[in-house]
Copies of this chain bind each other. A is one copy, B any other.
Amino acid sequence: MDFNLMERLRQPAETKIVLLVMDGLGGLPGDAGGKTALEAAHTPALDALALKSICGLHEPLGPGVTPGSGPAHLALFGYNPLQYEVGRGVLAALGTGFDLQSGDVAARGNFGTVDGQGRVRDRRAGRIDTETAAKLCDKLREVKIEGVRIFVEPVKEYRFLLVLRGEGLDGDIADTDPQQVGVPPLAPEARVPEARNTADAVHRFVETARDRLAEDHPANTILLRGFSQRPQWPPMPETFGLRCAAIAGYPMYRGVSRLLGMTVLETGATLSEEIATLEKHWADHDFFYLHVKKIDSAGEDGDFESKVDLITEVDRYVPRLLDLQPDVLIVTGDHSTPAAMARHSWHPVPVLLHARDARPDRVDRFGERACMNGGLGPRFPASDLMALAMAHAGRLAKFGA
């Protein structure tokens, strides 16, 4: 549903929506003809719920497209990920939990190696470890540029986050990472006149940083890309007329939620702690997004058995969720991460939507194959879910007389 129509039809109600996202939920059979992790998991609570729910499988970004976690979540929240895109710098800030403010310019940095002629030898500085990089970040943090505040945060291995804060900054600056070896790093060029001052500041920072790192071979230079600023998107609370809360332990998901204007609740990262957070704040919000990360990690590790066990464990908490009597409960994933592929994939993701007025289908268990014959269809756009949640929560008025 487009946001204009949503704005026109939304109406207040005293109802609660819970969206439980098992990251990377969807999968493939563990062996030929076998079951997927979700099918193999022991899920009596989800199966009983499926029997009373309408089910299906969503495609986060359309047929064949494998989504990153950020875009996949935007789709679940009803935002078209092709339209609402963030730069790499902002993504890096979200991933580290950096409190990116409006106007800040963020870039993703690599420590790299240059030779005596200043030509890039290694764009990843021999993949130095996170600890080494953290010390180099401390060094870079000492670089002072007039009129601009500089933040440098380690990310992982050779990667770091650079943030510039100041008046009138503009992120429309070209990458300094040449994306190849044997050539010098590029200058941080302004791509629009408004970004000239920012580009100058970046230039001064880079020059000073390189001087400071000169003796730190292999990490004797920095390469920057994805300069970007926090986007100004329509906030979820306004779009849907919902007081939205995010309950997620990992920085990336908290960051995306914050970008959408959700209240990000303090929480422990286990599902038990997340549900405790949910229970505690139940009265204060209308929409709760709960995120379970580890299932995706098991998939990425190619660990089918762990994925099965983690899904089985989630199932044990479902009764506690139901005790809260949410008006709408959606259980799904953001994308598929089949252990057989050990990475995100394009495969549609099982969904179950439970609500008093949900029309039951013939699906009697929660799994990929079962959901293919569900009433939501075997391949529907993830962005349909928020409209369906709103409708089942009695929060959408009739269109026309």
Chain A: interface secondary structure?
Answer: loop
Count this chain's copies in the assembly: 2
Which of B28, B64, B361, B377 is close to A390, meaning CB atoms less than 8 Å apart? B64
- CB neighbours (8 Å) of A61 from chain B are 399
* Interface residue ranges of A28-83 to B (CB < 8 Å): 28-29, 32-33, 36, 52, 56-57, 61-71, 81-82
Tell me whether B63 and A384 are in contact (CB under 8 A).
yes
* Interface residue ranges of A200-241 to B (CB < 8 Å): none
The range of chain A's interface size is 35 or more
0/1 interface trace, chain A 354-369, chain B, CB 8 Å (1 if under) = 0001011110000011
A387 beta carbon closer than 8 Å to chain B: yes
Which of B62, B85, B341, B373 is close to A1, meaning CB atoms less than 8 Å apart? B62
Bound-state Cα–Cα, A253 to B389, Å: 31
Tell me whether B338 and A357 are in contact (CB under 8 A).
yes
A396 beta carbon closer than 8 Å to chain B: yes
- CB neighbours (8 Å) of A389 from chain B are 64
Tell me whether A359 and B347 are in contact (CB under 8 A).
yes
- CB neighbours (8 Å) of A357 from chain B are 28, 338, 340-341, 345, 347
- With A347-B359, A357-B338 as contacts: A400 and B70 at CB distance below 8 Å: yes
0/1 interface trace, chain A 364-400, chain B, CB 8 Å (1 if under) = 0000110011111111100010011111100011111
Please give me the residue from chain B that is nearest to A4 by CB atom.
B82
Tell me whether A67 and B359 are in contact (CB under 8 A).
no
Bound-state Cα–Cα, A346 to B346, Å: 29
- CB neighbours (8 Å) of A374 from chain B are 372, 378
- With A28-B357, A64-B1 as contacts: A81 and B400 at CB distance below 8 Å: yes
- CB neighbours (8 Å) of A64 from chain B are 1, 384, 387-392, 396
A344 beta carbon closer than 8 Å to chain B: yes
| Residues of A in contact with B (beta carbons under 8 Å apart) | 1, 5, 9, 28-29, 32-33, 36, 52, 56-57, 61-71, 81-82, 85, 88, 91, 95, 338, 340-341, 343-348, 357, 359-362, 368-369, 372-380, 384, 387-392, 396-401
